[in-house]
Structure 1
Amino acid sequence: MGENMKKRFVQTLITVFVMSSLIVTPVLATPQEDAQSLETQKEELEGQAADINSQLVGLLVSYDALQKDMADQEQKITQAQSDLEEAQAKEQKQYEDMKLRIKYIYEQGDTSAFEALVTAKSYAELVSKTEYVQNVHSYDRKKLKEYVETKEKVEALKTELEAGQADMEVMAADLGRQQTNLENTLADMRSRIADFDSQLEDAKAQAAAQLDQLTEATQNVVASAQTGNGGGGKPSSSTNNSTQKPGNNTNNNVANNGNSGNQSNSQGGGSSNNSAPPATKPGNASLGQQIANRGCEYVGNPYEYGGTSLTNGIDCSAFVQAIHRQFGISTPRDSWGQLSGGKAVAYSDIMPGDVVAYSNHVAIYIGGGKIVHASNSKPYPAGGIKISSPWNYRTVLGVRRYW
């Protein structure tokens, strides 16, 4: 073999060796790696199942809470109507009595009281007649005061009834949106999950248990809401009167469980799990009070569903967002997101500036058992941005703190 042939032969062997070394052979996974992969897949499936369950329970709690609040609202409207009719009847009776009294005084003449005094024949008789005249005038003043108070009560009951009916209209609209969202979500999940009906029954049971806990927790703060105790603090002097309209300004929570439902943009619902969070340490209480006070500056301005203007019309979640934004604090846009964000606060630790979340509604707590919120589309004081009490007038789904 010639020298050149040897060289070519050696080069060919080297080339074959190099090429064969570059061929990638499949690497078989070890049993340990297979087990880890299966465990990862199992965890992912369990996480997906937990997310689905969380979403279902959240939707059901919000929907059921709204139905309960509507039933309670119907009872309040019925009672307000009865109280109004009773007060109106009393007002009419007092009015008729006042007319008779005025007629009697007119017929007696303006000098009757003076004549009664100057015709007294003795000091004792003078004292007696003086006391009589004073009693007559005291009686008239008392009756007039009672009549004025009754008229004021009638007006307050009219406003209460109008507000209650307006709130009911808002709840009914919210319920319709929630029902559509719930039905669409259930249909989607049923098409993707084999044993969905079984999971749905479990979710319904969990939702019922959570709603019972929420209802009990809400009822347990009645005394606190009425007295302003339980960490509620007191509002500033500018927030105490819920009926006076200022000038327009142009300027034990059951916590979140990872809500992910598709709610309407401005009135999202909320959800909660069944474990109360630890007592929340107070943040900057002064900032919280400033948030509460700032919200009260807009009392009397109008409500508008989907609106974002503090002066021309705004809805509940946009109101909460806009007030916080003035202090450089970011919150989600919809009430569903606002229930999920921030820090969970126990009912007993609620402070001015905290966000109170109901089903498809949110408000800012101002202390003294009161909230300020964009309520409904009726003119103030029945609707619009107003102060309401007690803060647990509906089922509270959670309290969140963003400051």
Structure 2
Amino acid sequence: MKKKLIAMGLVVVLAISGTQMAGATTLSKAKNQKNQAQSNLNSVNSQIDSIKSQQSALQSQIDQVDSELVQVLVDLDVVAGEIENKKVELAQAEADLETAKAKEAEQYGSMKERIRYMYENGDSSFLDALVGAQNFADVLNKVENFSKVYDYDRNLLVEYQNTKTEVANLVAQVEEEKQELEENQATYQEQQQQLETLKAEKSSQMDNFGSKLAEAQSLAAQYKQTIDQQNAIIAQELAAAQTVRVTAGASSVANNSSAASSNKKNNTTSSNSGSASTGSGSGSAVVNYACQFVGNPYVWGGTSLTNGADCSGFIMSVYAHFGVSLPHSSSAMRGVGREVSVSDMQPGDIVCYSGHVAIYMGGGQIVHASSPSTGIKISGNVHYKTILTVRRIF
């Protein structure tokens, strides 16, 4: 019988070992793929940050170009108005010049009529002087030599000449100012074209950054998806490994219990065989029953083995299944049953820590309602916290 138990245990160990090796390979591969995806994601996120930074800087440049372009357009509008005003001024000056010329001609004609009158009255020397004059200035010089010409005519003629000269100068000035404004207008138009070209280039760069950003964000989403997939595989493998450990622990407990029962049967009389089922045998049943609820949630103050329990609620409900009433308090459980030494722990014993309790499975393992994040689980180190006392119920 003892040899059969050893053989069965060896088969279980070999099967579990093979499963664990396969699971470890899958788990390792999933972790490697996750780490690679995380590294890629970090790199892409850095690229995204860089692209966004460049986009921000480029947008500032575009805003600056827009500001300069607006100012150039305002200047163009102003200079266009000034050119139109100069055109009006020039037209008026040219009209005034024509008026001055006409008045000058009119005065010159009146003067000649008076000279003719003087000639008809016998003053031929003045007419000869006029006929012999080379130009208009010469006429004036000749006129000044003749005292019989009225000072009124001379002064009026000079005044018209001066007016014509002033108006001609004004026409030239306005024409020059208009030309200068048109040159300014051409400069502003050139600046406008340059700024619009620059804005178009920067807008194209912004579109390029947008495409790069979209591509990087798409890659980031793919890497995130890979990470999520590998996390799911890792969680699945960890859960499978935990199930394997539960199976291994339960098998070990069962084998130990069967071996102990077999030894007792060989060494006691048939009249004592009924009492041999107590002790570790009952503790093993407690362990096997408790392990059914591994993976269920931790709920503070809870006592449900399926919907959630805290550490003392979990043990209370497990033992209640065997007709044992225990307090719903980790500190109160330090006084239940009888105390045994840590070195004498057996499956089913209640291990009491500071603020926490667990059921000993054997082989250094415990099953307990651990925490809200991990729920009811199996832990591989009974000594993970300082043990205050060990209580045995059966």
Q: Between Structure 1 and Structure 2, which shows a larger proportion of helix residues? A: 2
TM-score by length of 2: 0.33
TM-score by length of 1: 0.33
Higher Cα Rg, which structure: 2
